[in-house]
Amino acid sequence: MIRVRFAPSPTGNLHIGTLRTALFTWLFARRHKGVVVLRIEDTDMQRSSTEFEVNIFEGLEWFGLDNDEGPREGGEYGPYRQSERIEAGIYSGYIETLLASGHAYYCFDTAKELSVERDAAMATGVPYKYSRKALELSEGEVKAKLDAGEAYTIRFKMPDSGWLKYKDMVRGKIAFDNSLISDFVIMKSDGTPSYNFAVVVDDLAMKISHVIRGEDHISNMPRQAAVFAALGATLPEYGHLPMILGPDKAKLSKRHGATSVTEYRDQGFYSPALFNYLSLLGWSPEGQEEFFTKDEIVSLFSTDRVAKANAVFDQRKLTWMNGQYLRRLDVETYEAVILEHLDAGLKADIEVLGDDALSKALLAVRGNLEVLNDINTYGAVFVKTQKEYESDIAEISFSESNIDVLTRFRAILKPEGFSRESFDAGMAVVLEQTGLGKGAVFLPIRLAVSGQKAGPHLGDFAEVVGVETILARLSYVISLT
Ligand code: GLU
């Protein structure tokens, strides 16, 4: 049975990089009909908070990643928060096992003593390894120190020789020399387990078969593998994903703009578009196609096609893709999605224009939108007050040729039987009469009737605001000369 986990730490809002790891983990599981476990790694009590945990749940849900077991769903292998697992004594049980088998030992060295060791290693340029001074203590000495209430940590005894060799699902054959790795702390002096220990205990206890995570964890492999071996367990399969970089090739961070998933939601990204975009960040199916539904991605996903090279997060490409998604939606879905982002006041103002004005207006600006919130910028064009319109016009200068175009157009445009087609036909007649280029005809008309350079198809616009408004505006601009 394939069992995978996402293991976020609730020390910040759900980050786009963490989401990408969760996504690939989820895709792998769904592709192979496996089980997805959500585990909250909140052993760092100082930095973890419920607020961040809630943000993680919200982000995953909005993005469309579900899980079969987790803090909210429950499951056979719970609890699913490490803080609750500490309370349940799960880690201490494993610590006892490792102490008893000689794979772990008490260490009473003070922070100061350890820093002297570390500085000495630094000075000689040798990678630091703990001296194992604590191993020289006799059983009686250890007991006496414990009885006296001395502070201690518990360290894992790394094998002195041998190599950790495994085949990474993404990176292929990997080998680490065990003898280079220092004995590391598995239980901190405050009694909480360290990351490298807790993660192994949980992956083992939760019967995780495949671990997919960021490449920044690859250096932890020899430590985690050694703990697995000491517990007599076989190693799960691992796949380490390339990192996500900003456009300057530095690791993606706040400096590059929004990094939290809920910020993307709030800016008006449509989650299926982000899903499509993130899936292609470090993975690609065969062929050139870039647009895929969630189900298609699930059926195509394979770790064989995950790139080894880091991937660059390109906000412009994502924004473009988002706009493309909005244009491809069926009308009903599009309206439902966009209405969630439309300001209530603007909506009411557009509705006043006529029975189906709202629906026409939403469709008219569809081609202008990149993110959903753009609806409030582009939608405003339909409800400009006369004052706002006049002040826009005051900023524009119309040439003689422009005025000639507007005058001709006004003469052609008839209120009777008006439609978007008759509007377009009118503009075509002006084109023919004047022999001017499209820009020289369409732009002054656009500027005169809307007060702005860009916006919806003018025929659609005219259908929403009404031919009378169009004629009045043409006359207004013509009267200014
Ligand atoms: N809690 C770890 C993190 O957020 C997960 C590490 C792992 O997947 O092993 O980086």
Going along the chain from its start, the domains and CATH numbers come out as 1-70+242-328 (3.40.50.620), 330-377 (no CATH), 384-481 (1.10.10.350)
Q: At which residue do the structure tokens 């377009």 appear?
A: 424
Q: How far apart are CA 2 and CA 203, in angstroms?
A: 13
Ligand 1 pocket test target in 217, 219, 220, 235 with most atoms within 8 Å of CB:
217
Q: Taking 80 as the threshold, does the pLDDT of residue 404 lie above it?
A: yes
pLDDT at 335 (0 to 100): 97
> Hey, whose CA ends up nearest to atom 6 of ligand 1?
7
pLDDT at 97 (0 to 100): 97
Q: From residue 357, how far is each of 174, 336, 349, 369, 466 by CA, in Å?
A: 62, 15, 10, 18, 10
Both tokens assigned to 432 = 């023919």
Residue 355 banded pLDDT, cuts 50, 70, 90: confident
Q: How far apart are CA 163 and CA 349, in angstroms?
A: 71
Q: How far apart are CA 155 and CA 185, in angstroms?
A: 4
Residues 248-266 have a mean pLDDT of: 87
Q: What pTM was estimated for this model as a whole?
A: 0.92
The strand ranges marked E within 116-230 are 153-156, 163-168, 172-177, 184-187, 210-214
DSSP label at residue 194? P
64-88 pLDDT per residue, tens: 999 999 999 999 999 999 999 999 9
Residue 125 banded pLDDT, cuts 50, 70, 90: confident
Q: How far apart are CA 182 and CA 131, in angstroms?
A: 9
161-216 pLDDT per residue, tens: 999 999 999 999 999 999 999 999 999 999 999 999 999 999 999 999 999 999 99
pLDDT at 481 (0 to 100): 81
Residue 257 banded pLDDT, cuts 50, 70, 90: confident
Q: Taking 90 as the threshold, does the pLDDT of residue 369 lie above it?
A: yes
User: Is 202 touching ligand 1 by the criterion CB < 6 Å?
Assistant: no
CA 231, distance to chain mean position in Å, is 36
Whether 61 and 29 have beta carbons less than 8 Å apart is answered as no
Other C-beta atoms closer than 10 Å to the C-beta of 352 total 9
Residue 251 banded pLDDT, cuts 50, 70, 90: confident
Nearest to 246 by CA among 306, 310, 321: 310
Q: Taking 80 as the threshold, does the pLDDT of residue 93 lie above it?
A: yes
Catalytic residue among 133, 165, 254, 438: 254
Whether 21 and 279 have beta carbons less than 8 Å apart is answered as no
Buried b (16+ CB within 10 A) or exposed e, 269-286: bbbbbbbbbbbbbbbebe
Q: How far apart are CA 249 and CA 181, in angstroms?
A: 30
Q: At which residue do the structure tokens 């445009």 appear?
A: 413
Residues 215-229 have a mean pLDDT of: 96
> Hey, whose CA ends up nearest to atom 4 of ligand 1?
8
Q: What SS3 class is residue 174?
A: strand
Q: Is 254 a catalytic site residue?
A: yes
Task: State the number of CA atoms in the 13 A half-sphere of 152 facing the CB.
Answer: 17
**Backbone phi, psi, residue 6, to 5°:** -105, 140
Ligand 1 pocket test target in 213, 235, 243 with most atoms within 8 Å of CB:
213
Q: At which residue do the structure tokens 């096609």 appear?
A: 305
Residue 438 banded pLDDT, cuts 50, 70, 90: very high
Residue 126 banded pLDDT, cuts 50, 70, 90: confident
Residue 450 banded pLDDT, cuts 50, 70, 90: very high
Q: Taking 90 as the threshold, does the pLDDT of residue 154 lie above it?
A: yes
Q: With residue 106 as reference, give the H or E element that holds it.
A: strand 104-107
pLDDT at 258 (0 to 100): 78
Cα(216) to centroid(ligand 1), Å: 9
Cα(40) to centroid(ligand 1), Å: 9
327-343 pLDDT per residue, tens: 999 999 999 999 999 99
Nearest to 344 by CA among 382, 385, 376: 376
Q: Taking 90 as the threshold, does the pLDDT of residue 247 lie above it?
A: no
Lowest mean pLDDT among 124-128, 219-223, 274-278: 124-128
Nearest to 228 by CA among 153, 156, 162: 156
DSSP label at residue 6? E
Q: Taking 80 as the threshold, does the pLDDT of residue 254 lie above it?
A: no
Q: With residue 353 as reference, give the H or E element that holds it.
A: none
Q: At which residue do the structure tokens 């414990």 appear?
A: 146
**Backbone phi, psi, residue 177, to 5°:** -85, 110
**Average predicted confidence (pLDDT) for the chain:** 95
pLDDT at 357 (0 to 100): 95
Q: At which residue do the structure tokens 């008839």 appear?
A: 414
Both tokens assigned to 37 = 């476990």
DSSP label at residue 68? S
User: Is 199 touching ligand 1 by the criterion CB < 6 Å?
Assistant: yes
